[in-house]
Chains A and B, each alone.
Chain A
Amino acid sequence: MSQALRTDDMDQDLRVVGTRPVRPDGVDKVTGRAMFGADYSLPGMLVGRVLRSPHAHAIIKSIDTSKAEALPGVKAVVTRDDFQEMPSEFIPAGEMLINYRDVVRNVMAREKALYDGHAVAAVAATSVSVAKKALKLIKVDYEVLPHVIDPSEAMKPDAPVLHDHIFTDGVEPKPEKPSNVAKRVEFGMGDVEAGFASADVVVERSFKTQPVHQGYIEPHACVASVSADGQAELWCSTQGHYVVRANCARLLGMDISKIRVTASEIGGGFGGKTVVYLEPVALALSRKACHPVKMVMSREEVFRASGPTSGADIWVKMGATKDGKIVAAQTDLKYQAGAFPGSPVQPGAMCAFAPYDVENVLAVGYDVVTNRPKVAAYRAPGGPISEYAVESVVDELARKLEIDPVDFRLQNAAQQGTRAAYGPKFGPVGLVQTLEAVKNHEHYKAPLGPNQGRGVASGFWFNIGGETSVEINLSEDGTATLMSGTPDIGGSRASLAMMAAEELCIDLEKVRPLIADTSSLGYNFLTGGSRVTFSAGLATVEAAREIVKELCARAAKIWEIPEDAVEWEKGYVRPAGENAGNFEPLSVADIAKVAGKTGGPIAGYARINAQGAAPSFGTHLVDVEVDPETGRAWVTRYTVVQDAGKAIHPSYVEGQYQGGAVQGIGWAFNEEYIYDDKGCLENPGFLDYRIPVASDVPMIDTVIVEVPNPRHPYGVRGVGETPIVPPMGAIANAVSAATGIRFTELPMSPPKVLKALEEHRANGGGD
């Protein structure tokens, strides 16, 4: 069961925040009424379908669409010729960077197809069967090239080169030849050589992880409708409809304000729905066909053509003194970016050692292109990969030093004032509290059975703020409409409405939260970086406080006394000072009812660039059992402890913790992309790319630690991403404890585990 641990006595008077009401969008979601991306349709709508490359790497010599265009029922065909060339420049996009030169090529292959599944052409037709026939009539002349899938292979001098214009950035002097290494990044401080020289124990290991997909259950889907005068409507499943609008306008040469994007309900994203795939294609087809066009990816297309996160080759070396102080930490990270530069190796390098207070740190990362789909953000992009390797080495150091792994982490834990290797000093953070909670948890002391082992790992994620707009309109009856512009992926309408109800002192059911379309509310950056409850929460509180200020002004006007002669208290405006008691207090509804006579509509509008996002640390505790006969390993018990800052709706915070842990179980044990020798994906479906099912996992216990973020009125950090960071390390450490073998590759699937067990037994280890 869940617990909550508070570390302060702030805001004890809360009426709504911290409770567990039914979410405002809940009934629609349990009755089938909620409209997801594929649920929209329009009169006269056409079906859009994409032709995809069957080759991992090939020059596209020509594309002949004439036969497809001549097929009755085909209304439009688009290829690379329908998209303009874009300049090459990297633009920050939340936790990732984007380059429109590459975005346009990922949306529709240009000179070359760069991975199996790369879009080459698209059609819009009157029916699915006509669209499928049309795709078969498109003739593409390919010249197949050698391909490369593995990042270390791709870095070799004789590897097939994907892009002639890539000369490794961040290397002096500039390399003479193009290569697949797009970028080298480095973070560090102190002197690692001196640090290692002062260490009594040094552990050095190499690790490998495979790309894993976000695995959202809802495939990408959209409906686009462009009118003859260039006004466009787009309905789509996305984490950021303003970002979709900006990207589509850029790729199609349209004015941003001509495109209105409405975000549907979103059936999971985890970072994977922060980029565009179908949307610009659907708009281009609709513009050409002068009809609305609906496009929905199949599950196979989701796997072959939308972004997984990187697989990586990782080397970690850490040293500690015999009394348990970590004195040096170093890592080399090679992250595959997929077909275009932009893996999350930079955040991976930045957060690799973030949980620890170490003087001498060096993290070097390489962004490596390979013939795979371009990676997209996946929940704490980059963090789980580097921190998995580091947490494995931390565990091994603790074992060598014969120090309890939680005590070892406590001794070295980052806390307020610790300088992180990537630059800043931490403010108040809750890592120590999570470690202490683990140590004191009954789970940590529970006995283990045969073939079982226990593992611990900590994890860190930055969390972000960013551009946010929120509008609250007070209705004539005192109820409120709350408009935000960050798609609600896991309960944010609930948390925002709760903060608004708290501030306005009205009942939660009197607040109706909606996700506004891009033309009805100011700009919002996307739902990502665990930023929504923090950033949109800040904006909600600011907008609500503007309303409260206005309510006070209106009451003063009604009473004909100065504005500073009234006060707001628990949902009422009261006369204050020398007027105290002279008038009956007015409720929100009383003032709203007569708004028309006191100055017109009452609303609050906040447009902010949210600053002060605070990182969240977590520590996971896991027990696994390994079957010595088959090599299958599974989780028997799991406890997540994480600092939320403040849990606005604790049930949905627990949900983030539990969901992250189970995604991590999949990453650790099962999930991987499997390619054949031609570079084609062999497991593009849920049967062979097996995400955890209910019978694979136990209940996931949670402990919510609350070390408030001083930069948010209720103390909110962000909670969505950190839960995916510790699981792989914790599980690897548990498997190691159960078997006596250190596993250094993910996934720890049964054949790999069995092989290691057999070798271990042959070498006289174990039973």
Chain B
Amino acid sequence: MSKIHVTTTVNGDEVEFLCEPDETLLDVLRDELHLTGSKEGCASGDCGACSVMVNDRLVCSCLVLGAEADGAKVETIEGMADGENLHPLQKKFLEHAALQCGVCTPGFLVAAKALLEKNPDPTETEARYWLAGNLCRCTGYDKIIRAVLDTAAEMRGN
């Protein structure tokens, strides 16, 4: 079976790649484009470690085909900081010690950014339900939720 030619935008840069028809966007990001910040924890959409934005929508990149990215706008963890200036969420995750092993962290940051873009003033419950698709086995979620709520407050100017 021949490969599919795909043209897409990843973190603002136009990129082209060839992928198998059954190759996921996560595989393409990691293996073709060498953007390994998105992680595979389950390949079934249960853990959220591969969270990315496709056309401003939060998705598990393991559930999207690489071919579906044609013509789309893809944003990953690698595009979250502006050069050496970290996004406020990245800073707050560090300040709050909201990571231990760090493997779920990229997915949480992408998902939390999507939350704050949609809802700049989430309650704790709203943050917990929005992030319920991202699994963390180390932290017990306490410091992650605090970091997200603290970022929201800071970004609102409180």
Interface residues of A (CB under 8 A from B): 20, 22-23, 25-36, 38-39, 41, 129, 214-219, 265-270, 296, 298-299, 489-491, 649, 651-652, 654-656, 658-663, 685-687, 691-697, 699-700
Contact of B35 among A32, A658, A693 (CB under 8 A): A32
A32 touches B78 (CB 8 A): yes
- Chain B: CB-nearest residue to A296: B40
A32 touches B76 (CB 8 A): yes
B94 touches A22 (CB 8 A): yes
User: Is B105 an interface position by the 8 A CB rule?
Assistant: yes
Chain B positions 62 through 90: 1 when the CB is less than 8 Å from some CB of chain A, otherwise 0: 00000000000000111011000010001
B39 touches A218 (CB 8 A): yes
Bound CA–CA A299/B45 (angstroms): 11
Contacts of A33 in B (CB 8 A): 37
Contacts of A39 in B (CB 8 A): 30, 36
B95 touches A32 (CB 8 A): no
Bound CA–CA A267/B41 (angstroms): 10
A31 touches B77 (CB 8 A): yes
Contacts of B20 in A (CB 8 A): 129
Contacts of B125 in A (CB 8 A): 695
B97 touches A23 (CB 8 A): yes
Tell me how far the C-beta of A698 lies from the nearest C-beta in chain B, rounded to whole angstroms. Answer: 9
Q: What total of A-B pairs shows CB separation below 8 Å?
A: 185
Q: Which 10 pairs from chain A and chain B are nearest by CB? A: A32-B37, A267-B103, A29-B102, A658-B140, A651-B97, A662-B140, A686-B46, A32-B77, A39-B36, A490-B100
B103 touches A659 (CB 8 A): no
B residues contacting the other copy or chain, number (CB 8 A): 58
Tell me how far the C-beta of B125 lies from the nearest C-beta in chain A, rounded to whole angstroms. Answer: 8
Bound CA–CA A217/B40 (angstroms): 9
User: Is B142 an interface position by the 8 A CB rule?
Assistant: yes
Contacts of A20 in B (CB 8 A): 97
Known: A32-B78, A490-B100. A686 touches B135 (CB 8 A): yes
B106 touches A662 (CB 8 A): no
- Chain A: CB-nearest residue to B35: A32
Contacts of A660 in B (CB 8 A): 140
Contacts of B144 in A (CB 8 A): 694
Bound CA–CA A651/B109 (angstroms): 19
Known: A23-B94, A23-B97, A31-B77. A36 touches B39 (CB 8 A): yes
Known: A27-B86, A36-B39, A217-B104. A697 touches B141 (CB 8 A): yes
B105 touches A30 (CB 8 A): yes
Tell me how far the C-beta of A723 lies from the nearest C-beta in chain B, rounded to whole angstroms. Answer: 9
| Residue from the set B20, B41, B96, B137 with the largest chain A CB neighbour count within 10 Å | B137
Known: A658-B140, A699-B145. A217 touches B49 (CB 8 A): yes
B137 touches A663 (CB 8 A): yes
B93 touches A685 (CB 8 A): no
Bound CA–CA A685/B95 (angstroms): 33
Tell me how far the C-beta of A513 lies from the nearest C-beta in chain B, rounded to whole angstroms. Answer: 15
Bound CA–CA A215/B138 (angstroms): 10
A-B contact pairs, 24 of them (CB 8 A): A30-B105, A31-B37, A32-B37, A33-B37, A38-B30, A41-B31, A215-B137, A217-B101, A218-B39, A265-B103, A489-B100, A651-B96, A654-B143, A655-B100, A655-B140, A659-B140, A662-B140, A662-B141, A685-B42, A685-B46, A686-B41, A693-B133, A693-B135, A699-B145
A30 touches B137 (CB 8 A): no
Contact of B78 among A31, A296, A490, A658 (CB under 8 A): A31
A299 touches B44 (CB 8 A): yes
Contacts of B103 in A (CB 8 A): 36, 216-218, 265, 267-268
Tell me how far the C-beta of B65 lies from the nearest C-beta in chain A, rounded to whole angstroms. Answer: 15
User: Is B131 an interface position by the 8 A CB rule?
Assistant: yes
User: Is B54 an interface position by the 8 A CB rule?
Assistant: no
Contacts of B104 in A (CB 8 A): 217, 267
Tell me how far the C-beta of A576 lies from the nearest C-beta in chain B, rounded to whole angstroms. Answer: 41
Contact of A265 among B77, B95, B102, B136 (CB under 8 A): B102
Contact of A694 among B30, B42, B99, B131 (CB under 8 A): B131
Tell me how far the C-beta of A312 lies from the nearest C-beta in chain B, rounded to whole angstroms. Answer: 22
| Residue from the set B76, B124, B138, B143 with the largest chain A CB neighbour count within 10 Å | B138
Contacts of B44 in A (CB 8 A): 299, 685-687
Tell me how far the C-beta of B31 lies from the nearest C-beta in chain A, rounded to whole angstroms. Answer: 8
A659 touches B135 (CB 8 A): no
User: Is B8 an interface position by the 8 A CB rule?
Assistant: no
Contacts of A36 in B (CB 8 A): 36, 39, 103
A490 touches B101 (CB 8 A): yes
Tell me how far the C-beta of B75 lies from the nearest C-beta in chain A, rounded to whole angstroms. Answer: 12
Bound CA–CA A699/B94 (angstroms): 18
Tell me how far the C-beta of A640 lies from the nearest C-beta in chain B, rounded to whole angstroms. Answer: 9
- Chain B: CB-nearest residue to A699: B142
Bound CA–CA A686/B109 (angstroms): 20
Bound CA–CA A39/B39 (angstroms): 9
Contact of A34 among B93, B102, B137 (CB under 8 A): B102
- Chain B: CB-nearest residue to A664: B140
A491 touches B97 (CB 8 A): yes
Tell me how far the C-beta of B127 lies from the nearest C-beta in chain A, rounded to whole angstroms. Answer: 8
Contacts of A685 in B (CB 8 A): 42, 44, 46
Known: A31-B86, A32-B37. A694 touches B134 (CB 8 A): yes
Bound CA–CA A494/B129 (angstroms): 31
B41 touches A219 (CB 8 A): yes
Chain B positions 27 through 39: 1 when the CB is less than 8 Å from some CB of chain A, otherwise 0: 0001100011111
User: Is B132 an interface position by the 8 A CB rule?
Assistant: yes
A695 touches B137 (CB 8 A): no
Tell me how far the C-beta of A72 lies from the nearest C-beta in chain B, rounded to whole angstroms. Answer: 16
Instruction: Identify 12 new A-B residue pairs, CB closer than 8 A, beyond the known A218-B101, A652-B100, A695-B131.
Output: A26-B93, A32-B78, A38-B36, A217-B39, A217-B49, A265-B103, A299-B41, A649-B97, A659-B100, A659-B139, A693-B135, A700-B142
A695 touches B132 (CB 8 A): yes
